[in-house]
Chains A and B, each alone.
Chain A
Amino acid sequence: MVPTNYYLLLSAILFGLGVVAFVFKRNIITIFMSIELMLNAVNLAFVAFSQAHGQTSGQVFVLFVIVVAAAEAAVGLGIVILTARNRQSLNVEKVDLLKL
């Protein structure tokens, strides 16, 4: 029997690694993947709580999160392709039109 706290701690660690990847990576696709990593970490917490309370609502929420992640991936990758076409680069530092 694995304590729920272990799952929550793993979820927090994965979320933290996702944040680090989000801050430090320069490639726009990798940054996008780190968002997926954070979503996965949150899903793990949802399922852990669902199991801890013996309810299935948490698993339904995970389903919704996955649907939103799929929609986000479709739109986000469209934006990535457009950015790469306009800037000839995947480096986020080249996307600086709003910078002073």
Chain B
Amino acid sequence: MTPQLVIFFVLAAVAVLGAASLIFQRHPIHSALSLIVVMVALAGLYLLMGADFVAAVQIIVYGGAIMVLFIFVIMLLNAGIEERTNASRLARFAGVPLTVVLLGILAVAIARSQVASQPAQLADTHKISMQLFTEFVYPFELTSFLILVAILGALVLAQRES
């Protein structure tokens, strides 16, 4: 057991427990806090892989901006404990078996794949930015349009009808 492997298993356990907690908590605020735990654990895994730029973006954008937005909305709508209703027949009978099948297929595919892992490299934020502004410059510019459209859409959706 190398130290990296120990760190990986601890972070993976935290992430999986957080995701399970998202499912089992009945209050949306508790689910949101569990999701933040998952995101912080994933940021740790990114650091372990040597992707420190992605780790920083994960914390700032996901853990910071997006989850704060979620918690704002939960508090704005005063969301209470989830009503316990009967799960739909489809969800009850097909949901779990199909998920197990999906996981099984993925596990078999992953076990068969031969991806040689390389040692974690040093910070390559410079390389990422070079690639972002040369090879991926059109998608990058398109994302600004996407965000503009999203802002307009959110404004139109949220305004009160006059």
Chain A interfacial positions (CB closer than 8 Å to B): 1-10, 12-21, 23-27, 29-30, 32-34, 36-37, 40, 43-44, 47-54, 56-57, 59-60, 62-64, 66-75, 77-82, 84, 90-91, 93
Interface majority SS (helix, strand, loop, mixed), chain B: helix
- 13 residue pairs from A and B, CB less than 8 Å apart: A6-B12, A8-B115, A30-B31, A51-B120, A67-B143, A68-B146, A70-B61, A71-B146, A71-B147, A74-B69, A74-B151, A75-B154, A77-B154
| Known contacts A13-B16, A13-B103, A56-B131; is-contact A37 B35 (Cβ 8 Å) | yes
| Known contacts A20-B95, A74-B150; is-contact A10 B16 (Cβ 8 Å) | yes
CB distance from B52 to the nearest CB of A (A): 10
Interface majority SS (helix, strand, loop, mixed), chain A: helix
Cβ contact within 8 Å between B117 and A51? yes
CB distance from A55 to the nearest CB of B (A): 9
Cβ contact within 8 Å between A8 and B143? no
Chain B interfacial positions (CB closer than 8 Å to A): 2, 4-5, 8, 12, 15-16, 19-20, 22-23, 28, 31-32, 35, 38-39, 42, 45-46, 48-51, 53-54, 57-58, 61-62, 65-66, 69-70, 73-74, 76-77, 79, 82-85, 87, 91, 95-96, 99, 102-103, 106-107, 110-111, 113, 115-121, 124, 127-128, 131-132, 135-136, 139, 143, 146-147, 149-151, 153-154, 157-158
CB distance from B21 to the nearest CB of A (A): 10
| Known contacts A51-B118, A57-B131; is-contact A82 B49 (Cβ 8 Å) | no
| Known contacts A2-B4, A51-B120; is-contact A60 B57 (Cβ 8 Å) | no
Cβ contact within 8 Å between B154 and A2? no
